Amino acid sequence: MIARHCGISDPAVHYHFRSKSDIYDALLVEPEYDSPAPEGAADRQAIAMFMEQRFWWWARDAEFVRLLLREQLHGRPESISYLVRSEQQYRAELEQAARGTFGEGARTVADLGWYLLAGALWDVILAYGSDAADIIQQDYFQVRVRRLIDTALDAGERCQP
């Protein structure tokens, strides 16, 4: 099945991976984001763009997130620690990037940003099943994501002393 999906032969898959669980472990490598976190004094727009880029990095792989979600709900330790590491990295990078513009509100931006965007992605995957990948491509979903990012940033602004 996996071999058919990527258009190579069964033995070729076995040559690279001894078993199905080896393939799964290989998927759990640290994410290599194609866009770095903004450095120095990032303004609101740069932070919003960073949040969007991170969101789409995950959202374009809805099937992978779905697989992870199942493993995580079953409490599989590797999948949970993968989540914990990704979450910590996300929050730390976002808080760091937002510090200059939002001051004390940076923590709120990171907190809300994480829950709002992870929640939206998990929700679309759960609610639409195998159609999720198509829904995610729709314009209205992209507008929805931008609004959620604004919500997190607005809350961060209100938290400034």
Query: How many residues contact other proteins, by CB under 8 A?
Result: 28
Q: How far is CA 53 from the centre of its chain?
A: 9
Would you count residue 72 as binding other proteins (CB under 8 A)? yes
Would you count residue 147 as binding other proteins (CB under 8 A)? yes
Q: How far is the CB of 28 from other proteins (least distance, A)?
A: 15
Alpha-carbon gap, residue 88 to 85, rounded angstroms: 5
Binding segment for other proteins (CB under 8 A), chosen from 15-23, 25-33, 34-42, 116-124, is 116-124
Q: Residues 97, 112, 136, 153: which binds other proteins (CB under 8 A)?
A: 112
Q: Residues 66, 101, 108, 136: which binds other proteins (CB under 8 A)?
A: 66
Q: How far is the CB of 12 from other proteins (least distance, A)?
A: 28
Would you count residue 13 as binding other proteins (CB under 8 A)? no
Would you count residue 24 as binding other proteins (CB under 8 A)? no
The answer to whether the CB of 59 falls within 8 A of the CB of 118 is: no
Residue 106 or 121: which CB sits closer to other proteins? 121
Interior CA angle at 107 toward 124 and 143, to 5°? Answer: 30
Would you count residue 69 as binding other proteins (CB under 8 A)? yes
Would you count residue 116 as binding other proteins (CB under 8 A)? yes
Binding site for other proteins (CB under 8 A): 66, 69-70, 72-75, 80, 83, 87, 112, 114-120, 122-123, 125-127, 129, 144, 147-148, 151
